[in-house]
Amino acid sequence: MSDSLAARNGVVVTTGPSDRRHTPANAHPPTTETLAERVPRRFWVGLVAAIVYVALAGGVAELLTEGISTEDDVAELSLGHFPVLIPLVAAGVWFVWWAGWTKHVWRTPAAFETHPRRWWMLAFPALLLIQSIVLLAGTPWGAWSAAMLVVIVLVNILVGVGEELYFRGVLRASLRAHHGETVTLLVTSLMFGAAHALGSVLAGTGAGFVAFQVVVTATSGAVFYGVFRATGRLWIAMGLHALNDFTLRVSSGDLTSRSADNLDPSPINVVVQALLWALVLVLLISCIRQDARERREKRAAPTEV
């Protein structure tokens, strides 16, 4: 349907082939951007997408590894990731394109593109790179065969792409359409933390440990949120996420290890981690101030009559 809008006597008259209706002149008609979206950016859409991702990535993977016997850890790692994550990533990329969310999911104004400039945010990707380089320098490369490394690289690429696509991509876009940066940061980070603690909950782990796990993982999610805000490109957050997971796994020397809990962290990485946690607090304060500034600008903006 093609509509023409004309302002007459303080009223916007909308006419089309099959309907005529009158709306106040200060109403917000659908923009070209909105009309281009097949699926409205609503929080429940992003929430459902994240829940489906977590349920399938965790639940189906568990069923596969429990139901199909494998001869070694490499086969088990492959079975628990490739059959599930490849379709999920493909489905997520397709949904973003089909729904018309492409520019909202893959891009956001970078720290050096906003006013005021927020150059300090670039510390997020820089510190993550330093952390990964330090871990790689201490990696027992002799414990890994070339085939193992290829599998680990591919698995962590899928994990990094999938988690960033669904949490800092789809979920963030659905929230940011109607909420400020503070709410978006907190909700996406806490949901990221809750998703990673789901296994502990199902295993009957104590509430104290689960809460600690949620907080720690949510902070990691906030770090990747900071990477996205700093660079304005989701693919950079995906790449650093994959690199971070890869270095944590190979530096442990154990294929089944999913964290660096069994490592003796170097003094450099202790400092880097402390700086990242501090930056997350600064990011939260920055988001609060940004939202307050946007509210002031909105109140100060002249009202169309």
- Encode pLDDT of 94-124 as tens digits: 999 999 999 999 999 999 999 889 999 999 9
Q: Looking at residue 72, what is its pLDDT?
A: 84
Query: Same structural domain for residues 188 and 162?
Result: yes
Query: Same structural domain for residues 274 and 293?
Result: yes
Query: Same structural domain for residues 77 and 9?
Result: no
Q: Which domain holds residue 14?
A: 1-30
Shortest CA distance to 197 belongs to which of 183, 185, 209, 184? 209
Query: Same structural domain for residues 189 and 219?
Result: yes
Name the packing angle between helices 207-231 and 123-137 (round to 10°). Answer: 120
> In which band, very low, low, confident or very high, does the pLDDT at 33 lie, cut at 50, 70 and 90?
low
Q: Is the pLDDT of residue 93 over 90?
A: yes
Query: Same structural domain for residues 26 and 142?
Result: no
Query: Same structural domain for residues 5 and 82?
Result: no
Query: Same structural domain for residues 18 and 45?
Result: no
Highest mean pLDDT, choosing among 12-16, 260-264, 266-270: 266-270
Number of domains into which the chain is organized:
2
Query: Same structural domain for residues 14 and 82?
Result: no
What gap in Å lies between CA 171 and CA 174, rounded to an integer? 5
Query: 150 is written with which tokens?
Result: 């290829």
- Please give the average per-residue pLDDT across 241-265, as a whole number: 78
> In which band, very low, low, confident or very high, does the pLDDT at 2 lie, cut at 50, 70 and 90?
very low
Q: Is residue 231 part of a domain?
A: yes
Query: Same structural domain for residues 249 and 120?
Result: yes
Query: Same structural domain for residues 132 and 172?
Result: yes
Q: pTM of the entire structure? A: 0.85
Q: What is the pLDDT of residues 156-205, one digit of tens each?
A: 999 999 999 999 999 999 999 999 999 999 999 999 999 999 989 988 89
Q: Is residue 165 part of a domain?
A: yes
Calculate Rg over the CA atoms of the chain: 23
Q: Looking at residue 304, what is its pLDDT?
A: 54
Q: Is the pLDDT of residue 66 over 90?
A: no
Query: 107: which residues sit within 8 A by CB, 6+ positions away?
Result: 232, 233, 234
Q: Looking at residue 70, what is its pLDDT?
A: 79
Q: Looking at residue 257, what is its pLDDT?
A: 55
Query: Same structural domain for residues 289 and 243?
Result: yes
Q: Is residue 137 part of a domain?
A: yes
Query: Same structural domain for residues 146 and 20?
Result: no
Q: Is residue 305 part of a domain?
A: no
Q: Is residue 285 part of a domain?
A: yes
Q: Is residue 190 part of a domain?
A: yes
> Is the Cβ–Cβ distance between 128 and 160 less than 8 Å?
no
